[in-house]
Amino acid sequence: MTTPIRVTVWNEGRHEQTHDAVKAVYPNGMHTVIADYLNGQPGITARTATLDMPEHGLTEEVLANTDVLTWWGHVAHDEVDDAIIERVAQRVWDGMGIIFLHSAHFSKMFKRLMGTSCQLKWREANEKERLWVVDPTHPIAAGLGDYFELPHEEMYGEMFDIPVPDQLVFISWFQGGEVFRSGCCFTRGKGKIFYFRPGHETHPTYYDANVQRVIGNAVRWATPPQNSVVIASPCYQALEPLE
Amino acid sequence: MTTPIRVTVWNEGRHEQTHDAVKAVYPNGMHTVIADYLNGQPGITARTATLDMPEHGLTEEVLANTDVLTWWGHVAHDEVDDAIIERVAQRVWDGMGIIFLHSAHFSKMFKRLMGTSCQLKWREANEKERLWVVDPTHPIAAGLGDYFELPHEEMYGEMFDIPVPDQLVFISWFQGGEVFRSGCCFTRGKGKIFYFRPGHETHPTYYDANVQRVIGNAVRWATPPQNSVVIASPCYQALEPLE
Amino acid sequence: MTTPIRVTVWNEGRHEQTHDAVKAVYPNGMHTVIADYLNGQPGITARTATLDMPEHGLTEEVLANTDVLTWWGHVAHDEVDDAIIERVAQRVWDGMGIIFLHSAHFSKMFKRLMGTSCQLKWREANEKERLWVVDPTHPIAAGLGDYFELPHEEMYGEMFDIPVPDQLVFISWFQGGEVFRSGCCFTRGKGKIFYFRPGHETHPTYYDANVQRVIGNAVRWATPPQNSVVIASPCYQALEPLE
Amino acid sequence: MTTPIRVTVWNEGRHEQTHDAVKAVYPNGMHTVIADYLNGQPGITARTATLDMPEHGLTEEVLANTDVLTWWGHVAHDEVDDAIIERVAQRVWDGMGIIFLHSAHFSKMFKRLMGTSCQLKWREANEKERLWVVDPTHPIAAGLGDYFELPHEEMYGEMFDIPVPDQLVFISWFQGGEVFRSGCCFTRGKGKIFYFRPGHETHPTYYDANVQRVIGNAVRWATPPQNSVVIASPCYQALEPLE
């Protein structure tokens, strides 16, 4: 038996408390929907954490026992403590995977790891999004066909100010005329990062079977590497004789 | 139970017949050593094929039942039939993984998939090679440390005329003063490709534990993707109304 | 004074002879329109060549005096002589830039350099294409804004079966619901390659100011590198003492 | 006449004041040597700035009139004001090129833009470094051959903790047995970034003709893009009718 992948599903969790429209879609918070899906997958065990918990639920102990962290935030990016941001960054560099969902593109955490402004065009018009697979060799596209659709989503459009992704898995088409790099892979240190675009809080996106499948695939892909490569700055003795 | 990954280990197999020094190292051919290692791995089943078999052992039936093909060749690249080259290329585009070992860099098969001249500097001086891991997030580096060494190998040096690799896993240091991109990932169609540098026929390289581990990792990484993305050129009906 | 960039604009040139609709748009062939634009640019001098010329107009002498070649073909890909394909490939590896336009995606020449099937979805429905800039640092996007539009074009859709581009400059949105990686950079040997999607023969695409600008930018970008790196396979003497 | 590229050569400038060995090599600071070289190049005009100037010499006015900034720092990374770091980052995102030299790998500025720990192995043993060109199509390699050597340098070794470079131009071989990705290109926003390894303060590296040539090439390559792509987060009106 291999040990299960330990996921922590992190959510800002504010919209679900303050907006009736969001509460109607996600009465127990979108983190619960995501965690429930993941807990139904073989080889994955998920728990949740939210902004309003002590240390935002991201204690040293929680992170030490997290293989992959998922992150959703929107209105309270600035309330995330800088010390927690640094703690999570360190854990990513040490190998923890991290998956950023939708409006987490503008979180302190994503910006910290990207080094860019992370800006983009946006529009709330309940329009159609169609996500096309452009890398059919990538494990994050497992189980999908040429594309999948979401009938109603917020629009995000290019120019999306991110570093060039190491791998680009999805490109979105929007009804209103824009495109977007919707599934982007990066590495930082020994950690793998996936940005996945869909998930506006007023739409039932995290109940969608394809969206769930992608999140599950991304969790498996982002699981920490098993090697003993050391990331450090040692004064290093020569391996060959130097006269 | 998941079904095992079906590997075909292909070898030109000429040096083992004609050179005593090679015969001494690989009495049953280097393909046998590689296949024996892979057959000892859980979840992998390997068979062998060689140039001198009918259709080089790469019949439609064999390829249809191969998830990952490994390829070693050197003195008889030109004897590989062009029709077989096209058959294997088609199977790679359909999703079969392929791993090119050492002097296979100059095979018809590798050149066919790369679109470059695949030239490089070389020297047979039994010198030391040290392979450094430069992507510790990559599954092909699983189980390794910062580097591993081979006490005696042929030198391959830059400029290695390949397309820019999608992922670069290893860089080699050579005692004589050169460097080399030693572990390079590519995709073609739905197929994953890995080029792995070591493996000169007069050295016991394929008995080396680290080399074997890398080949096993590469086999697991290159296993065909599970999706229904269609690669074809259909006249495609619009998904949205066009006036 | 720097010497001008010497461009050869190559065109299959058949549609312009046989289809009245194409003749009406490009009475002197689309190669003439492209070459006229380039000849109006400072620092560029362009001539033309077509399939029906001896050696397709791509003699050793012409290629030796070409810094950047542009390529358009559609109905007669198979009529291009294999020896010319190999001659052009060798010249690309030696440093000549090459720009593939529209249906040249399915030319022998492009396939030879890519190593993939180069398939894609397509539709002739005179629909709108909008090309979004996704790499604003790239010289090929010089002079553009966030996007530009073509009111009537053929649709090309993903999955476009190419190797992962080294740089992705444009992504197209199509009215009928598809997306496409429309501006893709590659290298092969010392040569730079740009694939640019627009240019269906029945539309006046090559008169479009933005399309012309991109082609001019691509010519400047693809100009051969000035260095003395040698791509060859020498038996190479050690640079360091080997005991 | 095209307007010259305006370069600001920034130097921490402490070693030159406090270490006699460094003072002996760079009596007027290494920034002066670099700026003198650049000022001798056609189409480039360079000035200098140092840590100990007001606002570290990087005022809003200076940055607004800088096309490309070069950065060298070592012992006083922490003394760089965070507000200046953010100011420079914003200017990079707006299009200013930035070139990081040697120990600037561990500067606040580089870390801010990379999002990684930027750690590496190191050793001061006056050993030989040989930089191999692995991308002969890249403008930063203009004028070089297969490799160039520095007889005495500090060693930097992998694993270098950076994001995967967009383009890898050089790989270094070190006498003591290590390799290093020595010339790495990135983009952040509309700005281009080049990391160039050589330049230990006790060696006359910045007088070396090849090193100077690379810095000049990098300046030309990193010059801001000329386009009107907007990086911002507007609520964006649909370009197509939405019912």
> What confidence tens digit (pLDDT) does each residue in D21-39 have?
999 999 999 999 999 999 9
Of A148, A113, A108, residue with least CA distance to A128: A148
CA separation for the pair B221, B99 (Å, rounded): 10
pLDDT at C232: 96
Point out the residue among A114, A127, A240 whose CB comes nearest to the CB of D176. A240
Strands C179-188, C167-174: pairing is antiparallel
Q: Do residues C226 and C192 lie in contact, with contact meaning Cβ atoms separated by under 8 Å?
A: no
With contacts defined as CB-CB under 8 Å, which chain D residues touch C138? 225
For an interface test with C, give the residue of D213, D217, D229 to mutate (most C CBs within 10 A). D229
Specify the 3-state DSSP secondary structure of D218: helix
Question: In this complex, do D138 and C229 lie within 8 Å of one another by their Cβ atoms?
Answer: no
Q: Do residues B238 and C126 lie in contact, with contact meaning Cβ atoms separated by under 8 Å?
A: no
B158 near A CB under 8 A: no
pLDDT at B1: 52
Question: In this complex, do A229 and B141 lie within 8 Å of one another by their Cβ atoms?
Answer: yes
For an interface test with D, give the residue of B130, B131, B132 to mutate (most D CBs within 10 A). B132
- Which tokens hold the place of C164? 């992962």
Q: Which chains touch D (3 or more CB pairs under 8 A)?
A: A, B, C
- Give the list of residues 6+ apart from residue A54 with CB closer than 8 angstroms, or none: none
Point out the residue among A121, A229, A236 whose CB comes nearest to the CB of D157. A236
Point out the residue among B168, B173, B178 whose CB comes nearest to the CB of D177. B173
With contacts defined as CB-CB under 8 Å, which chain B residues touch C229? 159
pLDDT at A213: 98
- Give the list of residues 6+ apart from residue B15 with CB closer than 8 angstroms, or none: B22, B74, B75, B201
| One pLDDT digit (tens) per residue for chain A, 243 residues | 579 999 999 999 999 999 999 999 999 999 999 999 999 999 999 999 999 999 999 999 999 999 999 999 999 999 999 999 999 999 999 999 999 999 999 999 999 999 999 999 999 999 999 999 999 999 999 999 999 999 999 999 999 999 999 999 999 999 999 999 999 999 999 999 999 999 999 999 999 999 999 999 999 999 999 999 999 999 999 999 997
The distance of Cα D233 from the centroid of its chain, to the nearest Å, equals 29
pLDDT at A179: 98
pLDDT at A2: 75
Point out the residue among C89, C232, C237 whose CB comes nearest to the CB of B119. C232
pLDDT digits (tens, 9 = 90+) for C145-159: 999 999 999 999 999
A-contacting residues in B 186-215 (Cβ below 8 Å) = 187, 189-192
Q: Give the nearest chain B residue to D176 (CA atoms).
A: B175
Q: Could you give the ipTM of this predicted complex?
A: 0.97
pLDDT at A1: 52
pLDDT at C243: 74
The distance of Cα B212 from the centroid of its chain, to the nearest Å, equals 12
With contacts defined as CB-CB under 8 Å, which chain B residues touch C234? 121-122
With tokens 């080029």, the residue in question is B195
CA separation for the pair A59, B232 (Å, rounded): 50
Does an H or E element contain B220, and which? helix B209-222
The distance of Cα D203 from the centroid of its chain, to the nearest Å, equals 18
Q: Where are the alpha helices (DSSP H) in C53-133?
A: 60-64, 82-93, 108-114
Question: In this complex, do D229 and C133 lie within 8 Å of one another by their Cβ atoms?
Answer: yes
Over residues B13-41, the mean pLDDT reads 97
Of D164, D163, D231, D236, residue with least CA distance to A118: D231
Point out the residue among C122, C176, C234 whose CB comes nearest to the CB of B235. C122
Q: Where are the alpha helices (DSSP H) in chain C?
A: 15-18, 20-25, 30-39, 60-64, 82-93, 108-114, 209-222
pLDDT at B145: 98
Give just the sign of the alpha carbon dihedral A92, A93, A97, A101.
positive
Does an H or E element contain D215, and which? helix D209-222
pLDDT at A114: 98
pLDDT mean across residues, chain B: 97
Q: Helices (H) and strands (E) in chain D — how many of each? A: 7, 9
With contacts defined as CB-CB under 8 Å, which chain C residues touch A160? 134
B-contacting residues in A 111-150 (Cβ below 8 Å) = 130, 133, 135-139, 141-146
CA separation for the pair D82, D72 (Å, rounded): 17
Q: Nearest-CA distance from C80 to chain A in Å?
A: 30
pLDDT at C95: 98
Q: Do residues C222 and C166 lie in contact, with contact meaning Cβ atoms separated by under 8 Å?
A: no
pLDDT surpassing 90 at residue C64 = yes
Percent above pLDDT 70 for chain C: 100
B1 near C CB under 8 A: no
pLDDT surpassing 70 at residue D1 = no
With tokens 């940005």, the residue in question is A195
Point out the residue among B114, B189, B233 whose CB comes nearest to the CB of C120. B233
**Domains within chain B, CATH numbers bracketed:** 5-116+184-222 (3.40.50.880)
Over residues D115-141, the mean pLDDT reads 98
pLDDT digits (tens, 9 = 90+) for B120-173: 999 999 999 999 999 999 999 999 999 999 999 999 999 999 999 999 999 999
Q: Give the nearest chain A residue to B192 (CA atoms).
A: A137
Size of interface A-B (CB pairs under 8 A): 74
Q: Where are the alpha helices (DSSP H) in A60-208?
A: 60-64, 82-93, 108-114
- The number of CA neighbours under 13 Å toward the Cβ of D30 is 30
pLDDT at C36: 98
Q: Nearest-CA distance from A228 to chain B in Å?
A: 5
Size of interface A-D (CB pairs under 8 A): 118
pLDDT at D42: 97
Peptide bond into C159 cis (omega under 30): yes
Point out the residue among C135, C146, C177 whose CB comes nearest to the CB of A173. C177
Question: In this complex, do C163 and B161 lie within 8 Å of one another by their Cβ atoms?
Answer: no
Q: Give the nearest chain A residue to D157 (CA atoms).
A: A236
pLDDT digits (tens, 9 = 90+) for C207-230: 999 999 999 999 999 999 999 999
With contacts defined as CB-CB under 8 Å, which chain B residues touch C93? 116-117, 161
| CA-to-CA separations, C63 to B159, C33, C55, in angstroms, rounded | 24, 21, 11
Q: Give the nearest chain B residue to D167 (CA atoms).
A: B164
Question: In this complex, do C176 and B240 lie within 8 Å of one another by their Cβ atoms?
Answer: yes
Q: For residue C128, give the amino acid letter.
A: K
Of A54, A115, A47, A55, residue with least CA distance to A88: A55
φ/ψ of residue C186, rounded to 5: -140, 165
Of B219, B130, B141, B110, residue with least CA distance to B180: B130
Question: In this complex, do D143 and C227 lie within 8 Å of one another by their Cβ atoms?
Answer: yes
D225 near C CB under 8 A: yes
pLDDT surpassing 70 at residue C1 = no
- pLDDT band at C2, cuts 50/70/90? confident
pLDDT digits (tens, 9 = 90+) for B61-119: 999 999 999 999 999 999 999 999 999 999 999 999 999 999 999 999 999 999 999 99
pLDDT at C57: 98
Point out the residue among A164, A167, A173 whose CB comes nearest to the CB of C179. A173
Q: Nearest-CA distance from B142 to chain A in Å?
A: 5
